[in-house]
Amino acid sequence: MSADAGPRGFLRRFVFCSDHKAIGVQYLVLAMAMSVVGVGLSFWFRAQLAWPGAQIMTPEQYVMAVTMHGTIMIFFVVSAALWSGLGSLVVPLQVGARGMAFPVLGPVGFWTNVAGAAVMVASFFVEGGASAGGWTAYPPLSALRNSGAGALWGTTLWILGMALFIVSFTMGALNVVATVLNGRTRGLTLMRLPLATWTWLVSAVLGLFSFPALTAAAILLLLDRHAGTSFFLPSGLLVSGRPMPNAGGAPLLFQHLFWFLGHPEVYVLVLPAVGIAFDVLAAFGRRPVHGYRTTVWALLAIALLGMLVWGHHMFVSGMNPFLGTAFSVTTLLITAPFALLGVNLLASLWRSRIRFSTPMMFALALISAVGAGGVGGLFLATSAANLHLHDTYFVVGHFHLMIGVVTLMGTFAGVYYWFPKMFGRTMNETLGRIHFWPTVSGAFAVFVLHHFQGLGGLTRRYYEHTQDVFQGPASLHPAVTLLAYVAGAAQLVFLVNFAWSAFAGPKAGGNPWEATTLEWTTASPPGRGNWEGELPEVVGEPYGYAEGPDGTGFRMQNAEGGR
């Protein structure tokens, strides 16, 4: 492929475009569109929680809204924007490739993802409503078509939408693995990769290992629902007073299969956010990251241990208590490599000369969110503490900090940082600040308060908290809702900034941030084929900052340019 003008015609250029940069932008736009649905649902049910007397929704609508909010935000917002969007955009550029290893998988994967999103949205309009069994879709609730809200057709479409998502993710992950392993330019050894690309590689491998378990679970669930099988349905079921004919199935089997993916999925999303933060911290702190090697080893350790901890979601599920202890131990072991990541993030700021641009602000907030999220994890991973905290707002606050706040801080840092590589322009800094402050302070306030509500035992997925014992923690609901509205509304500033800057932002040169990795050695936006003429040849480490006699220079990874 050469750096020509590329194909012509609307369809080839915008719809079935195989250029990884365009696909990255398409994923970001998809994520923004789906975030309107996902965040809108949360605005709706947060109103119900804050003002239960107003009867803003029915209990059926409530369980549908929380189920679909979780599903859409995890798979069609965070994963689409952070993993697929920024990953498609950045990985080929950081490895010095003309494109992804399998260019056709790009548009096919993207449109499969769109189909999955469309099926999810369509499920609101089928008989019985959208799936309402929680984003975890535990059977028997999800396997019985007569079990209540959303059980008739919504859950079937939910399974279909998830299947399409998994197909799409698998294509993207294969592409990332092949591109990083086989598509690196001359001189770019694995230990010279920028950490962002390392995290995409590790998370792609992790996803490829873990998603098949969910695929299997989804197929078995579908069969239980429509083919009369009993994979997850035991004998002796009595639903709405009617004995069911099923026999021999095990509801816990689904939980094992689900979390065999579900837990690694957390790292699939969190690791790229951390990787982006490392790149941004170096570029705006004007010094190399601390502990590149130990970071890479920590990432690999997290990926390996991450596949051995799924049972910590099932401490009170009825799983053998001995297994609970085993999973508690492995889960707490994973805090060790995470602590290492945290220390390396922090130490990367030692003697830095920070340029406080918006990407850096988000990267710094990410460090805080990783710390706060990690601390909550210590409670939940301890099986004895989990006896009290399981299925409370403590869990809700914890996972929102990790797969909501950490991931979105990473996504925002990445979008503001790499925006020039999408549109050849930079985003507006003032709007960036206006976006940053309410987003970060609102998100922290909401999810930290969730933790304290959870200490009070406040159960999650409740339409209304009427128990006396919950009145104290539930009295915070209105305040939390208002804070969530502030943080959510601030995203409009981001959407406006994104759209406006794409067309009218200040033009960026090839390297507006004076960053050193390969994506900054080409034009903004890079043309088709990414580099005119020869591909860059890497001669050294990714983070050539603090160079020169006075320590303020920088060296590009291909040694051309720099100061």
Residue 287 touching other proteins (CB under 8 A): yes
Handedness of CA 367, 368, 369, 372 (dihedral sign): positive
With CB under 8 A, what is the number of residues at the site for other proteins?
A: 119
Q: Which is nearer to other proteins, 174 or 480 (CB)?
A: 480
Q: Which stretch binds other proteins (CB under 8 A): 28-36, 87-95, 284-292, 398-406?
A: 284-292
Whole-number minimum distance, CB 227 to other proteins, in Å?
Answer: 19
Residue 215 touching other proteins (CB under 8 A): no
Name which position in 11, 36, 190, 336 contacts other proteins (CB under 8 A): 336
Whole-number minimum distance, CB 215 to other proteins, in Å?
Answer: 22
Residue 285 touching other proteins (CB under 8 A): yes
Nearest partner of 401 among 437, 431, 375, judged by Cα: 375
Q: What span, in angstroms and rounded, lies between the C-alpha atoms of 410 and 7?
A: 33
Whole-number minimum distance, CB 182 to other proteins, in Å?
Answer: 31
Place of tokens 């919950």: 470
Q: What span, in angstroms and rounded, lies between the C-alpha atoms of 318 and 512?
A: 56
- Span 217-236, contacts to other proteins by CB under 8 A: 233-236
Give me the residues paired with residue 105 across strands. none
Whole-number minimum distance, CB 230 to other proteins, in Å?
Answer: 10
Residue 291 touching other proteins (CB under 8 A): yes
Residue 346 touching other proteins (CB under 8 A): yes
- Span 49-88, contacts to other proteins by CB under 8 A: 58-60, 62-63
Residue 321 touching other proteins (CB under 8 A): yes
Residue 241 touching other proteins (CB under 8 A): yes
Name which position in 208, 294, 496, 559 contacts other proteins (CB under 8 A): 294
Whole-number minimum distance, CB 404 to other proteins, in Å?
Answer: 16
DSSP secondary structure string for all residues of 1-41 = --SS----SHIIIIIS---HHHHHHHHHHHHHHHHHHHHHH
Q: Which is nearer to other proteins, 473 or 562 (CB)?
A: 473
Q: Which stretch binds other proteins (CB under 8 A): 138-146, 174-182, 486-494, 528-536?
A: 138-146
Which helix (H) or strand (E) segment is 180 a member of? helix 154-182
Residue 147 touching other proteins (CB under 8 A): yes
Handedness of CA 391, 393, 398, 399 (dihedral sign): positive
Residue 433 touching other proteins (CB under 8 A): yes
Name which position in 115, 126, 212, 317 contacts other proteins (CB under 8 A): 317
DSSP secondary structure string for all residues of 356-416 = --HHHHHHHHHHHHHHHHHHHHHHHHSHHHHHHHTTBHHHHHHHHIIIIIIHHHHHHHHHH
Round to the nearest angstrom and report the end-to-end CA distance of the chain: 32
Q: What span, in angstroms and rounded, lies between the C-alpha atoms of 396 and 407?
A: 15
Q: What radius of gyration do the chain's Cα atoms show?
A: 23
- Span 378-397, contacts to other proteins by CB under 8 A: 378-379, 381-385, 387-392
Nearest partner of 137 among 53, 68, 207, 183, judged by Cα: 68
Q: Which stretch binds other proteins (CB under 8 A): 15-23, 32-40, 316-324, 484-492?
A: 316-324
Q: Which stretch binds other proteins (CB under 8 A): 115-123, 172-180, 221-229, 451-459?
A: 451-459
Name which position in 3, 178, 296, 349 contacts other proteins (CB under 8 A): 349
How many angstroms from the chain centroid is the CA of residue 431?
A: 24
Q: Which residues of 517-544 are buried (b: 16+ CB within 10 A; e: fewer)?
A: bbbbbbbbbbbbbbbeeebbebbebbbb
